Amino acid sequence: MNTLISLSAYDLMLASLLVLALVGLTVRLNLGIAQQLVIAAIRTTAQLLLIGLVLKQVFETAQLPLIALMMLVMLTVAAWEVLSRQKRKIKGWWGFGISGLSLFVSSFLITMIALFAIIKTDPWYTPQYAIPLLGMLLGNTMNGIALGMDRLIQTAWQQRAVIEQRLMLGQTAVEAIREIRHESMRAGMIPIINAMAAAGIVSLPGMMTGQILSGTEPVEAVKYQILIMFMVTAGTGFGVVAVLHLISKRMFDSRDRLRFDQLLAEKMQDFGQQ
């Protein structure tokens, strides 16, 4: 296999010209997103360079406290990202707790299972494996959890009158919201199902592509990609189930009464328009 070809700053500048060309096109078409594109490109460059320096230090030291701190930061940021994508936010710290717990179940625990039972690294917290695996799981399960949470809250809010009618007709809280939970579960799982169905035919997943570019044998890269796809799928499914269950429990009181006023933040955009 060929060795990895190093990229210079000049090479990256050439690639950035493509983004600048796109910025010019959006300005010409008066789309109003040129500033967002420039800011996003700058943030991408700064954040990736910074994480590269951090990972270099972590890989060289391989100390468990430092690795655990980095994993905790990743989990915390992912939980906030889930909340930031919600149109209707859960009141107080409940939203962060629900998203954080769901991500812990779906990403952290599955990463530990992979490190201990499948890859069997020695030590188990070897940063070259632990951090990338957790990062890939968090990045993918975060999207599924965010979609499922948003669909559940949005649909339940729009159909709150229907839910209350079902409760008055004698249905339990679980029965009244069952169909909405099923649709929310489907919404959260669609991205990863599509990714699995298209992998290897429509697209070459990122981890596999990176390993091949770095000189890894294609078959070995494929094995790792299959492992990641299965882990991400399981993590997304468990995470979406967990977040839907927790929100559904919080959505009703002990007497099966709908309580949006206690669940959602008071000041939210377009509340008065519903």
Residue-level pLDDT at 55: 85
Specify the pTM. 0.77
Q: What is the model's pLDDT at position 32?
A: 87
pLDDT of residue 173: 86
DSSP of the chain, one letter per residue? -PPPPPPPHHHHHHHHHHHHHHHHHHHHTT-S-HHHHHHHHHHHHHHHHHHHHHHHHHHHH--HHHHHHHHHHHHHHHHHHHHHT-SSPBSTTHHHHHHHHHHIIIIIHHHHHIIIIII--SSTT-HHHHHHHHHHHHHHHHHHHHHHHHHHHHHHHHTHHHHHHHHHTT--HHHHHHHHHHHHHHHHHHHHHHHHHHBTTTB--HHHHHHHHTT--HHHHHHHHHHHHHHHHHHHHHHHHHHHHHHHHHHB-TTS-B-HHHHB-SS-TTGGG-
| pLDDT computed for residue 20 by the predictor | 94
pLDDT along the chain (274 residues), means of 10: 73 91 92 90 91 85 87 90 78 80 89 89 86 88 90 88 88 88 92 85 72 78 87 91 88 79 54 36
pLDDT value for 257: 81
- Predicted pLDDT of residue 242: 92
Write down the pLDDT at residue 258.
79
